[in-house]
Structure formats: C-alpha cells, structure tokens
Structure 1
C-alpha cells in the first residue's frame, strides 16, 4: 500500500462551506450550515460511529426545495446545533407562497448512539398553508479510510433496507464479520415512507406552528448475533436533551473555569473548554480526549498525552485517564506489522472495518516514536501535580517497561539516541508528530533516510528519564532514580554536542540513518526548550529565531521558516502553523524566562481565533504572513475541533502566568506572572489542589501583575515569585 493512501484527499474540503460538528463518545456527525448531510463524492459529511459512516445523506426539503439559510451555529457548550431557515418564493399554480412566510427552526444533538432532531415550522402569514416536507436519507457505510481516499479492492454487502410505518433500518455486513445498522425513526407517522425518504404534509393555521421530531440510531453486532436487528427504543427528543443539558452543567460547575476582562478572549477560552469536553470520551480507565473530528475521532497516544499535559493544572483527571489507558494497552510483544515492541506505548486504535480486516494497520498500531517518553514524562508531571502516589504505583511497571523500550528498542544502534524506521510497508514512514512523508529532510530538500533521530524526541527522552527518576525516588527506588539521573545528564551532554549547530544557531532537525545532521531550522527545536535539554544560551538563540519574521507569521510560529528548501505555507507540516506546536513552544519559552515571547505567541493565536468559525482554534492553518485587514488562511482539511488545539489554550495561560502546582506540598507557585496587553484581568475559579481549592484574580499593571486570593477552601498555599 502506498504511503499516500493514508493522506487525506483535498477533495474532502471542510472549509469551502462552513461545517457543523457534533460528537458524543464514538459517535459524531458533520453537517453543513443548514443541518443537512450532503451526499457528494468522498466528502466528509455524515453520521459516523466507530469510524464508519452510518448516514451519508440527510436533506430537508419543503415543496421539494432546499430552505434558505438565515443563521446557523453550534451552542457555546457544543451540545446543540441550531439553524434558522425560511422558504423560497413559490410561484407554481398550485403552490403560491411568498418567500419568508414559513420560519423553519432546526435543532439537533447527539448522544452515545443516536442523533436527535426537532424541526419546528411557524406560519407567519394570515392564511392556512399546507406545507409538504420531506426528509431524504441514505446509508453508504463507507469506512473512514475510504472517505479519506484509500482505495479498496472489495467491500462488504449492503443488505435490503427494512421499512415499517415509522422507521427505516439499513444494514451492512462488513468483511470483518460485523453487521452495522442504522435506524431512522419518526415520532409522527409520515404520509409516505420508503427506503430513501419520508414525506409529510402539515396543515398550519395562520400564526401557528407545528413540529416534527425524529432520531437516527447507530449500532453494530457480530454477524451471527441473534439480536443484530434489535434497537432499544430511543428516548424522546425532550428527555434526551434534558439529560444531556443536565450532565454538561453538572460537569461544568465542577471544573476549574477562567474568565477575563476581554469578551473575545472569553469566547476562545469557553469554546476551547467545550471542545475538549466534547472530545473527551469515557473509557474503563477514565477520561480520554479523542484527537479530533472528523479524521481522528479515536484514541491517539501522542495526542492524548500532549492534551493531558496541556490541561494538567486545571483538570488532572484527564492525565489520570490517559495514563491508565495507555499503561493497560502498552505492548508486551513484538509485531512488525503493527510497529509494536515490548514496552512501547500505543500510537492509535481504531474499530472501523478496514482496520479490523488489516487493510490498514491501525486497529492497534504502535508506530509513534515519542508516545513512550511522553507517557513517562506525563506520569512524573501528574505525580507532581496531584501527589496521587497510589495511582502512580499502579503504573510503575509500565513506566519501567517504557524505559526498557527506550534502552533496548528505541535506541536501535546503541548510539544513545532514540530513532525510528517503520517495520511494515503499511506503516507510517515518519513517526514523530510531523508525520507527513516529506517532513524530515536535509538542507537541500533531500528526504532523510531511516532510522531517524528527531531532535525533540531526544528532549522528550531526557525529560522522561528525569520524570522516571522523580517517580522512582518517591516510591523508594533510589538506585533506579540515580541511574536515570545519570542517563539523563549523559544524554544532555551528548545531545548538545551532536545536535547543536552553531552556524544555524539551533538544534538540527534530526540525524538521518547515516548519522548525518538534517541541517534544517524547525519548530521542533522549540520543544527542546519545554523538555529542558537546552542550555540557557541555546534557549536564548532559539527564542530569538522562532520569533523572527522567517518563522513568526503574526498569527503564530511556522513549523519551518520561509527560508528552508521545502517551505510551503499550504503544506501539512512544512510551513503551516499548528496551535498545539505553538503552545508547547510558548511553554518552553516561559520555562527559560522568555515571558514576553510566550505572550507574543498567545497574542498571535488569540488574534487568529477571532477570524475562525466559532472562535475555535483548528488543527492547523496556513503559514502565510499576516496581512493588514485580513485574517489567517485556512488549511483545507484541518480537523476542528482538535484536542491539542483546544487544550493548548490552557497551557498558554499557564505559561504566561508561570503557574506551577505542587500537590505534595499543597502549594500553587506563580513565577513572574504576566498578562498579554489585551487582558486587564483574569480570574481562575475553583483551581483545585488535593481537597482544597482557590479562586484567584490576576490584574495587569504597567510593569507588573498583581495576584489576589478571592476565595480559599481548605489548606493550600499561594506563592508568587518575582
């Protein structure tokens, strides 16, 4: 299979027209602004469950015509899509209705296995009107990888739909021996119902209204399961919506919340929080943020670990859920087909048909070079944040196994660096976070040959060893702790010699399979600040470089500067701007004391968010320079929402505030707190440390930021260091 088969075709445009995304657990939906699912080619629209499209068409028509859009939005908590529509002018002899006579209000939401919709019609005329309304639907059961552009040699069997008075059931027998089903159920009995549409006629008196509700359920069963056509009756719209609203409110009041003096920034913060809550899915180990919709609505190791780190201060339970899940799924075997080795942490898991059959290797795939050190680093950070020693004891074997993987498998040739090269032709060629085929190259543009040692990965390993030492010391494993401290220091010294390029004034992108340096300036070096492997002088040079015009667009820091051979601001990884990348760089800048530079990164992303739909930071956007009176340029197939773009907002705020929480000491430290120019005040509500919590107020003055404790419950110390 060609590597490009895993790329997302640019015919799958998500930004040529505004899309609306809803998600709950493994079910998500992509609609157009009107609330329809448009049936066209390999477009991303659809209702999906476990990466299979259970509904490929959903179109509302009045008098056989598409209603006119007035407005459309997703509510700020991401729970409800609403659209206001009206009728076009009708001039047929048997149907003369002026335009703007009927108001159509659509509202829809999703639960774990069902999409609910209510359509309300309001007649604003002085006459009785008969409104013919039809809902058109279809289920193609396409696999997510088909939709992304991967060709298949064969598909399963689409069964004959079953039609009753009020519902239609579609079924598909996959090549993975799974039967997938979709049921469309109407509360009101249609005048006509067949396998492709439901038709209604509503008589509406002057200035009166009526409504229609229906649901779409998704299910899957083994093909030999006797209950394969069984669906539990869905809850009604009103009941299901009330349950959803109550659950979201209960969760909201328990979380740490932020608000500021800037209403626009508050929208960014609120949307980021809602995006993360929408992407978080419950597993048997707790909360796990799925990577993003539509392409990555599943568990990814790297994405989950980074997102958990980003929100560690305000929501440490995410880290607990991520660490628990990844410890439980850590490889204890070697399997070249899945790039798996003992001790390695998961890259991704999928349950779609093509993954189940092995057409793609991603059912349980381990082709990530950085998930393992990131796992160990997060474990150390979680222990520091929470003092949850009992949980850490439970995953201590997984931490040790991860260190063993670094020593015995990650370092393939014994040179002291962790490198990668795929072990299966179906696997990912590049296994760092920049996983495009062309993302690792030499100064002349030649692609680097494997095995490849990325600069930021060595930083992650350095941080992982230091974290393992802290955990070991806490658990009384002093000899192990000392060993990891020595290994970390040896790595730092070796890395300084082999990766630092004095002429480029940065760490080289990577070492290739022949140990030749890829003398390319990249944002990867910024991650080396976050891990702490850089010297203060190196950090200063990297900081200056990353905020130069070659890198910094005015909206954010590019993945590579405009001077590199493969620079392309429209590419996925070679010149675009990734919010999560920027947030990790900002945290690294703040670690070395470059607060003004970190605030500049925050300000650029905030400015960009004001142009994005719903004030939502996307997975990435194009790396064109900022132009007067223009917004940033969208990337055509970027996920939105994306977990680490949403979680990055919290990390940016923590970085400029210098927020550090010591769970063992019950202490909140604020190192030289700063606020960007667009914020006069910032409030943190219910910041928790163990059983205690505080409300904090930050106020910006001309040369300083003041900190007040507005409320304190329990024993917690707040320390400001300037």
Structure 2
C-alpha cells in the first residue's frame, strides 16, 4: 500500500505533469459532464494527458485525443460552451497543406467544426469539414488517441509501486478497443468507434483521407465509451436532445433571478447552468459534485455549503444532499478512514486506488467541519421549507451527528471540536483549508494536534442553536434546553480562548499545546456568518476583513498579506476563493455591513467578467490594479459548485432576504441592490405551497420590495429597516 503525502492531494502538484512542450500561454480548458463521466479538453478539443482527459468513475479512460490535418494541428478560430453546458464547440481551420502534383492547399479554406457532448458514460463527437476553396480538396485527417487508465489520484500526482495489466489496443474495422485489468480485478475499457472506416487504423491513431468538393460539408462522427457502437447523425442528435432535456429540467427547479443588467444576468445564468452541470441525480436525490476535474464526486463539506448557498432559491438541492449524507453516515470506528459513529462523510471515490484501499478516500470521514455543517443545513432546510415529514425521517441521523459533536467537545479540555488524523494515510488538516501548510503559528511553526479551528466552533454554535429551536418545535423540551446550553457554552469558550485582544481579531486555531495560532485568516469571516462574536468584536473583525491586507478589490484573501506564509499564488495562504468571500459577506451582512457586501458582490462580478462569467475554484490573491485582470490559479477546478453558488449567497446577503417556511413569510431587512442594477426579480419563489415573484426596485437611494402571488393569496412580506 502506498502512503500518500498530503502535498500529493494539492491540485497544484498536477503542474508537474503538464506537457513541457506545450505552448507557454494560458491553456483554456473546457469541461463537460453527465453523471460520473466527464471530459476536460483544450480550446482545440484536444486532450494531451496532463490534468485533462475523459474520466469515468475516477479513472481516466482517454489520456490522449488530438486531431491533426496533414500531421499538423489546425489553427484555432474560437471555442465555446453552449449556455446550458451540454455542447462544446470549437471552430478551426487548416494551415497550408501539400496537395497533388507538388501543389499546396492554401491556409484558411477548410473550416473544421468539432462539436462534443457527454451522455450516459459516453462521449459523442461530430467533426464537420467544409471546403471554401476554389476546387476539390483531398484532406488527410488523423485522430491520435491513447488510454492510460490512471486513477484520478495518479493524475493528481500520487505514485504507485505497481499497476495492473494494460492490454495492447485492438483495432477492428471501424473501432479500436483499449483495456486495462486493474489490481482490483476490474477490467476497464474504452472503445473508439467511427462513422466511417478509416483509411488506416492503428492501435494509437486513425487516418482518414476525405475528398471535399467545393462548398460541400463532410461529417465524421466519433463515440468513445464502453463497447463498440455505430456512430451516426441520428445517434448524435438523439444523445444531444436527451442531454439538453435533462439539463433544462435541472435548471427549472427552484426560483430564477432576472435583473436590469444584461451582463449581470449572463453571470447568474452561467452560475445556474454550472450548478446544474455539476449536480448528479443519485438514488437519494440531486447532489452537487464539488468541481471538475479534481473533485467530480460527492464531497460532504462542498455539498452542504453549495446547498446552503442555493437554499433560499432551491431547497430541493439541500434535501438531496441531506438524504445522501444521512445514508452514508459513519456507524463504526475506523482509524484508516477517520470514521466515528455519527460522523458525516467528507469524500467518496470509485477508482482503483480507493477500492484497493491504497488511499482512504473510498469513503472518507476526515472533515472536522462537515458534521456540524450537516446539522446546521438540516435545521436551515426545516426553517426554509417547514418540511417536518422529511426532518422526522432524518431525525435519527441528526441526533447521531449531534451526539458525535457532544463526544468530540466532551473529550477536549477546552470544550472544542478538534481534529487529528487517526492514520498516516489521512489528511493532516481537516478543515476547509485542508492543504498540508494551511495551519501554522505566526512564527511559522507547525502546530501540534489535536487542532481546534475557529470557524468549526462557530458552526457547532450555530448548529446547536438551530437544533434547540427544532427540538422545541418537535416538543422535546429537554433536548432543546441541553442544546441551547451547549451553544452558549461554546460561545463563551470561543470568546475566551480565540480572541486576540492585541490584534483585535480571532486566532485561526488552538493547537494541542493549548496555544493559539496567532494568524489572521478569512476563517474568522465564517465565524461572523454564524453570529457567535459579540458586536464590538465583530466590528473590529469586519474592519480588518475590509482593509487592504485582506480585501484585494477582487475579493477577500484567505490570509492577510502581512502574515509570515502569505503567498498570493498559494492554494490556501493568500489566494481568493469566491465561496469564502461569499461566506464572509454573509457574516458582514449579519452585523450590518450591507453596503460593503454590495461592494464585495460588485468585485466578485467584475472578476467573473474576466473569467468569461465562470468563477473558478480560486484565483491568485494579488491586489487589484487599474486596467488589469485577476490572475488565474493554474490548476483550479472550473467549474466548481461552491464558486458557482457564491453569487446566490452574495445576492441573498445584499437583498436581506430570509424565508420562514413555518409561517410562510418572506422577511426582508435593509435591502440593497448590486451596483448598476436598478431592478431585480426573483421569479417562482416557493414559500410553502405558494409561489411568488419578488421584485426589488431602486428609487433614489431606497430599494422597495414587492411580492406578487400567482394565486392571489395574502402577501406574507415582513419588512425591517
């Protein structure tokens, strides 16, 4: 069994595997996904075998896929994704080509359009070629392909002492089959099938010589998946139609948002489409997978936070997340997987290394914050929907999670929830900043465990408070009182132990030597979002989060720039994560800093514009300069669920909207609109059994809200100023 260093889990390690001969320019990547199958390719539609590929069940089943014309790559005209994220399309043209009798085909007379989609564990591609020259062209087209069948963790940088048996690829007629017999005794395969019989077919390439008369369009169809098929126009169209229907159905769930800003609407539409793309329909309901390519699977923390971001517009997502996590809740102690009874899952994987337990991530529980966040989401879902029937079904799981929190707190001398990995194969750091170097002392020392993170105690405080209210509603007075007491005890402990009076800020953590890690991090913004800090301390924190060491003009850094390990190009020590900025904004709004939340929303929107309306997992934390764009982090996931969900959390914080599902009320407090937006409508907002359109309109320096019902029922709007 191979021991995994945490650094091998950092996606930045994948930089080492990128093609050293690739052009030294930013490589735009495009992702498509359906279920547990996804593809990542460049603007040409090509796969080079770095961090890209066609993946199925955490295994790369296609590691090379390139199109050449006359043994040369074509010239790129442009590439894009359809608005619904179903189709990738790239437009290419030919470079000069030799032709018969020593002649040459001029550059730019052949148009090559590659259109691609993923449906039911299979990649479909249509390659359309059009001749705009003056005479017939004989076009030599070649498709190069390989399959390395590497586990996702190998692609990310993990080393293995041995692998299974890779069979020689088998060309046959109009297809090539590649197979790998894993050490887990599973045979994985990928077959590439063509709509035409190639002129030459080899184990790693297919050659076609296509005659293109003037102004004639020739089409080649390709399919890649398990087993050979007979690709053709009808199969491609049928798969595209089914994929678009499913994606359209996903996007119709919940409320939609439309504003007076056309570009702002594009951002909202892209974010909603990305959430739909990443959401996989499991037996327990919809679940937002974390991100492509590194984390296209169910993560506990990511799923819960994404569901919280979307809760006010689409509570169905929260229900699916809660049902899945309840089903996979730990019931026994396992040091290898960091499992304890009642604990909520951190990550699940289906690849060969997970099956063989070379790594603990087949079903891994090393996330210290996931369990209190799960409890909080369950209570928040209940308050949003009033769906007590589902909560009653979930109650044994909620109780088990709360009991795990109780045990964790009771065994710590300070009364905190702590983490320390139980086996060397697990994650050293188990909060949301889980890279190996993300927790440290102000002088650079690595803290000894067990470690209590400040935001985790805030999550527990909020979970206990919400649990007390929910238990009271269920008539369980004793538990309600006990949980309320737990919440207050946690509040006092955090205020006493984490507050740094000299720095007017909370420490990131308390280590196993009972010493605070005296560094200023964005984790404290999460603490604000729970409502734990006293108002005067929250004011000091807010002022610092909004000051230059944290606030870049694009968002909030994960680490203040005057701390010892600050690096704007790092994964967690000075970068900007959109979901982190959004949670900080929710905390600022809670303490009355709504004008600053509007500013953060504007900053995030402007960053999204530079990223073609799709916010990445993270980007570099350099300060904003006039005329310059934000700097991309090289191997960030794109799309990422909680980055896409950030716009909805930021909007809710700006609009001041809360929904009381028990009373059927929409509560609006000190509402503000984004900069440059004069009106915004939330359409088809479900509140109990009623559906409303909620409109915000700017009048001078005021924002007025209006609620319209579809069935003329009483308008339950509570306005607070």
Whether TM exceeds 0.5 here: the answer is: yes
Within 1, Cα distance between the matches of 2:711 and 2:350?
A: 45
Within 1, Cα distance between the matches of 2:161 and 2:449?
A: 30
1:106 to 92, 114, 128: 114
Displacement of 1:232 in angstroms is: 10
**Change in 2 beyond 3 A, CA 1:494/1:409:** closer
Query: Counterparts of 1:642-661 in structure 2 under 5 Å?
Result: 642-661=640-659
Displacement of 1:623 in angstroms is: 0.8
**Change in 2 beyond 3 A, CA 1:411/1:34:** farther
Tell me whether 1:561 sits opposite 2:560 in the alignment. yes
Equivalence for 2:267: 268
Displacement of 1:411 in angstroms is: 4.7
Within 2, Cα distance between the matches of 1:345 and 1:94?
A: 69
Displacement of 1:481 in angstroms is: 1.0
Counterpart secondary structure, 2:141:
strand
Within 2, Cα distance between the matches of 1:479 and 1:631?
A: 55
Mapped contact 2:193–2:229 kept (Cα < 8 A): no
Equivalence for 2:22: none
Mapped contact 1:618–1:640 kept (Cα < 8 A): yes
2:218 to 205, 210, 223: 210
- Which stretch of the first structure deviates more once superposed, 529-538 or 369-378? 529-538
Within 2, Cα distance between the matches of 1:702 and 1:450?
A: 54
2:660 to 643, 659, 662: 662
Equivalence for 1:607: 606
Within 2, Cα distance between the matches of 1:505 and 1:691?
A: 46
Mapped contact 2:168–2:203 kept (Cα < 8 A): no
**Change in 2 beyond 3 A, CA 1:712/1:639:** same
Equivalence for 1:472: 471
Within 1, Cα distance between the matches of 2:263 and 2:17?
A: 30
Deviation per CA, 1:477-534: give whole Å up to 9, x if none: 1211111011111111222111111211111111010111111111111111111111
Mapped contact 1:13–1:636 kept (Cα < 8 A): no
Paired positions, count: 708
Tell me whether 1:89 sits opposite 2:96 in the alignment. yes
Tell me whether 1:52 sits opposite 2:59 in the alignment. yes
Equivalence for 1:223: none
Deviation per CA, 1:581-638: give whole Å up to 9, x if none: 01011111111221012112111111111111x3111111111111111011111111
Displacement of 1:688 in angstroms is: 1.2
Counterpart secondary structure, 1:336:
coil
Tell me whether 1:196 sits opposite 2:220 in the alignment. no
Equivalence for 2:587: 588
Deviation per CA, 1:332-353: give whole Å up to 9, x if none: 1000011111110001000111
Tell me whether 1:705 sits opposite 2:703 in the alignment. yes
Within 2, Cα distance between the matches of 1:11 and 1:46?
A: 16
Q: Which runs of 4 or more aligned residues in structure 1 lie more than 4 Å from their structure 2 counterparts after TM superposition? A: 12-15, 91-95, 229-235
Equivalence for 1:343: 342
Counterpart secondary structure, 2:610:
coil
- After superposition, the CA RMSD in angstroms is 1.7
2:32 to 8, 17, 22: 22
Deviation per CA, 1:366-413: give whole Å up to 9, x if none: 000000000000000000001111111111111111111112135533
Displacement of 1:233 in angstroms is: 8.7
Query: Counterparts of 1:178-197 in structure 2 under 5 Å?
Result: 178-197=186-205
Mapped contact 1:379–1:467 kept (Cα < 8 A): no
Deviation per CA, 1:65-113: give whole Å up to 9, x if none: 2111001011121111111111111245545211111111111011130
Mapped contact 2:576–2:619 kept (Cα < 8 A): yes
Within 2, Cα distance between the matches of 1:539 and 1:624?
A: 26
Please give the TM-score of this superposition, normalised by the length of structure 1.
0.95
Equivalence for 2:159: 151
Counterpart secondary structure, 2:128:
strand
Equivalence for 2:508: 509
Equivalence for 1:577: 576
- Which stretch of the first structure deviates more once superposed, 53-62 or 677-686? 677-686
Displacement of 1:443 in angstroms is: 1.5
**Change in 2 beyond 3 A, CA 1:156/1:541:** same
Counterpart secondary structure, 1:238:
helix
Displacement of 1:255 in angstroms is: 3.6
Within 2, Cα distance between the matches of 1:142 and 1:645?
A: 28
Counterpart secondary structure, 1:271:
helix
Mapped contact 1:341–1:409 kept (Cα < 8 A): no
Within 1, Cα distance between the matches of 2:283 and 2:250?
A: 18
1:11 to 16, 19, 37: 16
**Change in 2 beyond 3 A, CA 1:13/1:468:** farther
Counterpart secondary structure, 1:72:
strand
- Which stretch of the first structure deviates more once superposed, 306-315 or 514-523? 514-523
Mapped contact 2:408–2:416 kept (Cα < 8 A): no
Within 1, Cα distance between the matches of 2:591 and 2:274?
A: 30
> Which runs of no fewer than 5 residues in structure 1 stay unpaired?
219-228
Equivalence for 1:379: 378
Equivalence for 1:225: none
Displacement of 1:161 in angstroms is: 2.4
Within 2, Cα distance between the matches of 1:117 and 1:168?
A: 16
Within 1, Cα distance between the matches of 2:163 and 2:359?
A: 14
**Change in 2 beyond 3 A, CA 1:97/1:181:** same
Counterpart secondary structure, 1:346:
coil
Query: Counterparts of 1:191-340 in structure 2 under 5 Å?
Result: 191-218=199-226, 236-340=235-339
Equivalence for 2:364: 365
2:47 to 14, 37, 41: 37
- Which stretch of the first structure deviates more once superposed, 307-316 or 690-699? 690-699
Equivalence for 1:400: 399
Query: Counterparts of 1:471-490 in structure 2 under 5 Å?
Result: 471-490=470-489
Please give the TM-score of this superposition, normalised by the length of structure 2.
0.95
Deviation per CA, 1:651-709: give whole Å up to 9, x if none: 10011001101112111111111012222221211111122211222122332112233
Tell me whether 1:356 sits opposite 2:359 in the alignment. no
- Which stretch of the first structure deviates more once superposed, 368-377 or 84-93? 84-93
**Change in 2 beyond 3 A, CA 1:123/1:233:** closer
Deviation per CA, 1:103-149: give whole Å up to 9, x if none: 11111011130110001111112211122222111111011111111
Deviation per CA, 1:194-251: give whole Å up to 9, x if none: 2212222222221111111111114xxxxxxxxxx68899981011111112222233
- Which stretch of the first structure deviates more once superposed, 338-347 or 679-688? 679-688
Within 2, Cα distance between the matches of 1:548 and 1:680?
A: 28
**Change in 2 beyond 3 A, CA 1:668/1:12:** farther
Within 2, Cα distance between the matches of 1:411 and 1:702?
A: 54
Equivalence for 2:172: 164
Query: Counterparts of 1:405-416 in structure 2 under 5 Å?
Result: 405-409=404-408, 411-416=410-415
Displacement of 1:475 in angstroms is: 2.0
**Change in 2 beyond 3 A, CA 1:429/1:120:** same
Within 2, Cα distance between the matches of 1:457 and 1:13?
A: 36
Mapped contact 2:194–2:231 kept (Cα < 8 A): no
